Structure 1
Amino acid sequence: MLRLASTRLPAAFGGLTRRTLATGPASGGSVSDEMIEKLGSLSTQALIDGLWVMGWPGAHIEGARSLAPGQKCAGRAVTLNFVPQRPDIQADKPPGGESPEYEAFELCGPKEVLVMSSVGPWESVGGDIKFLRLKQLGLGGLVTDGSVRDTDEIISYGFPCFSYSTTPRQGPAVMQPWECNGVINCGGVAVRPGDCIVGDQDGVVVVPAAKAEMVYSIAHGREVIEEIVKEELTKNPGPPGRFYPFMSGKIKVDSPLGKLLATKGITPENSNQFEGTANW
């Protein structure tokens, strides 16, 4: 459905007082808690591979790296968009606790990941005082293509944080939070509220809510195959090329990989990983 918004036009528009503007829905759905657990059990590499098999556009948020070793997050996206600083924008932004950023904070909990779109990689989206509230809410994770400050305190808060870098700089001098839970561009990737965000040591991946089941099915199948291949190469060392490719839906039954999988009970009858059996 299209979301319609009426807006008052300035006098320069020749006396037109109102015009109806159309925009698509911000959210494409929302993943269940069960699906969050399933997607979170997979590596970001497996998820990217699954999306690649589906022909989905890039889903890796470029520049978002874990603030501390061993961090991992999985949850529904709550989005927050920052825009460049302008005096009139600062004046029009709802003040105090009604600001879009605090509105976004209050939507967060253990199953949510706050995704913040910065105007630049070195601009701070927040620090210890603001993010203390996220700790209190038990936030599932924070992701930004910008930077954070007060690094030691944020790490001590315990929630996973993925950012381009750290910085001592202030954010409000150069940007303002403007919209909560709209579609945003974070690190070159479109993020919609309700998408599943998964982060680990390799980076952060956006799984579209509408395709979550399919992504999990393909990615999980690939992880199973990779483990079987690694086990075989460990027992019988040799070039791995004989088992490639193992792109879902492309494995031939009579190939070395197809024969290896058959020894593990994986066949076209019980897997969509083989040639001609893909269902997307």
Structure 2
Amino acid sequence: MSALIHQLSAFPTSVLSDTLDELGIPGVLPGLFAQRQGQGRAVGRALPVKLLAKKNDPDAYRFGGGVGKPLEAVLKTMADGDIVLMDLGGANYASAWGGLASRLAQRRGVRATIMWGTVRDVDEIREIGYPVWAVGVCPKRSRNDFTFGSINETIEIGGVSISREDYIVADESGVMVIPGARAKEIVEIATRIAAQEEELLAMVRTDSVKNWDEV
């Protein structure tokens, strides 16, 4: 585990969101939900993927169940420490990630998958304990609705740019993108904000908050 990933692991997304807000950096990916209660916090290097809406592309088709061809490129690329972040435009009518992909990702040491789209095989994913965030669930496979777009290239979701140099932090409050170029600065400010939160928490517990601006 890199030093930055270890440091970022100390902070909930709420603290990191406050930190990026102080710096004027957009970092929250909206409308994404943990697919299992208690799945904890996932932190890793972003593996940005984009699939493109395209009906019945013969290059994407593969018979039956299993893994579609657009996803195959992702499964071949992902590695230990990655968080797969797939952009399907927020589509809710077909899923590009499911149980088989989750099992392989887990074996490869991938930390989590974030779907700007839906996921399927949720029962299986919960059973094996692999962390997934998505906009929702849908049992329909994606290979007749999407084709391969890009991998390891910068994508944009909800006004937030995500590149291979960035980090992802996700918990049950949501998903944050941490710009790699400013990660050290973000850790320093997040440390200050977390300490302030602890001080405020102690005051709340003793009902001794007098002036919020003095903390």
TM over 0.5: yes
Runs of 4+ in 1 over 6 A off after TM superposition: none
Within the candidate set 139, 161, 176, 1:168 is matched to: 139
Deviations along 1:129-166, one digit per CA (max 9) or x if unpaired, are: 33332122122010011010011111223221111111
The unaligned stretches of length 5 or more in structure 2 are none
Map of 1:114 onto structure 2? 84
- Judged with a 3 Å threshold, the aligned counterparts in structure 2 of structure 1 residues 50 and 116 are, in CA distance, closer, same or farther, namely same
Map of 1:136 onto structure 2? 107
Over the residues paired in the alignment, what is the CA RMSD in angstroms? 2.4
Q: Is residue 183–residue 192 contact of structure 1 (8 Å, CA) maintained in 2?
A: yes
Map of 1:199 onto structure 2? 170
Secondary structure of the 1:199 match is strand
Query: Does 1:48 pair with 2:3?
Result: no
- Judged with a 3 Å threshold, the aligned counterparts in structure 2 of structure 1 residues 75 and 194 are, in CA distance, closer, same or farther, namely same
- Judged with a 3 Å threshold, the aligned counterparts in structure 2 of structure 1 residues 93 and 179 are, in CA distance, closer, same or farther, namely farther
Instruction: Tell which structure's C-alpha radius of gyration is larger.
Output: 1
Within the candidate set 83, 87, 92, 2:52 is matched to: 83
Within the candidate set 68, 75, 86, 1:105 is matched to: 75
Identity %: 23
- Which structure is higher in RCO with an 8 Å CA cutoff and minimum separation 6? 2
How far is the alpha carbon of 1:167 from its aligned partner? Answer: 1.1
Task: Point out the structure with the larger strand share.
Answer: 2
Q: Is residue 61–residue 143 contact of structure 2 (8 Å, CA) maintained in 1?
A: no
- Whole-Å separation in 2 of the counterparts to 1:80 and 1:37: 24
Q: Is residue 109–residue 138 contact of structure 1 (8 Å, CA) maintained in 2?
A: yes
Secondary structure of the 2:91 match is coil
How far is the alpha carbon of 1:243 from its aligned partner? Answer: 1.3
Report how many residues are paired. Answer: 210
Normalised by the length of structure 1, the TM-score is 0.68
- Whole-Å separation in 2 of the counterparts to 1:107 and 1:157: 22
Structure 2 matches for 1:217-256, cutoff 5 A?
Answer: 217-238=188-209, 242-244=211-213, 256=214
Secondary structure of the 2:37 match is coil
Query: Does 1:38 pair with 2:7?
Result: yes
How far is the alpha carbon of 1:86 from its aligned partner? Answer: 4.4
- Whole-Å separation in 2 of the counterparts to 1:157 and 1:81: 26
